[in-house]
Amino acid sequence: MRAAAESLLLRGLRPESLPRHVAVVMDGNSRWARARGMPPAFGHEAGRRALLETVRLSRAWGIRALTAFAFSHENWSRPKTEVDFLMGLFERVIRDSVAEFSRDGTCLRVIGDCSRLPASLQRTARDAEEATRNNSQLDLTLAISYSGRRDIVQACRSLAQKVRDELLRPEDIDESLFAGELETSRGSELPCPDLLIRTSGEMRLSNFLLWQSAYSELFFTDTLWPDFGEADYLEALCSYQSRDRRFGRRNS
């Protein structure tokens, strides 16, 4: 991956100022396939390759964490044939990547409403999480059956239960405590995303990391996810480094 690292310098990027955590809404697989006269499954397979390349680039560039929106809670309303294909694809991607993740230091986590996932996918995800739990080169989170609103609701319910059980007083609840109950925080100390990328020309978050992205820099590209590659990723990083992140403060 030396060539990937060198590409940062060629684009004038400062390695020390790269985002620690990148989140990506991987959108456009079906449109990519449709433009080629192919079924959605063809686009999802191409999207798989784009994801794995993005993982490798992130690791090579020293980005600490990558969170990928693979399947939203709302996506369950898609045709059953497409949903079944995607569940099988996720299982295959996770199973086939464990050896590489273990070798290259990638720690994998799966978040979302896992109770709705097929039992075999749940087992595969648990096994992969256990196999990679001590890796520290890159934290990779796959959001499957994930909803930002649902994540906030379950955090509220968890805190309410602790208050009811007298483990916590309402006045003790602050932003830090609340954030610790979100699915993205469990078993990890990841920072909130510094950069959130959405492909395919759509300009919305689509219920992804609603709390966590409060101060994320947003980057939208017309590129469809299967076509998202190194040049597109570098463009997003260049845009990120050109911005003045003030977090509500005014520079003196």
User: Domain ranges in the chain?
Assistant: 17-147+194-212+226-239
Helix (H) or strand (E) holding 106: strand 106-111
For residue range 6-15, list pLDDT tens digits in order. Answer: 777 667 888 8
CATH classification code of 17-147+194-212+226-239? 3.40.1180.10
Q: In a 3-state reduction of DSSP, which class is residue 85?
A: helix
DSSP 171-200: GG--HHHHHTTSGGGTT--PPPPSEEEE-T
Which one from 27, 151, 194, 232 is the annotated catalytic residue? 27
pLDDT tens, N- to C-terminus, the chain (252 residues): 566 667 776 678 888 899 999 999 999 999 999 999 999 999 999 999 999 999 999 999 999 999 999 999 999 999 999 999 999 999 999 999 999 999 999 999 999 999 999 999 999 999 999 999 999 999 999 999 999 999 999 999 999 999 999 999 999 999 999 999 999 997 677 889 999 999 999 999 999 999 999 999 999 999 999 999 999 999 999 999 999 877 666 665
Helix (H) or strand (E) holding 67: strand 65-72
Contact residues for 46 (Cβ-Cβ < 8 A; gap 6+): 29, 32, 33, 226
Q: Could you confirm whether 139 is annotated as catalytic?
A: no
Give the global pTM.
Answer: 0.93
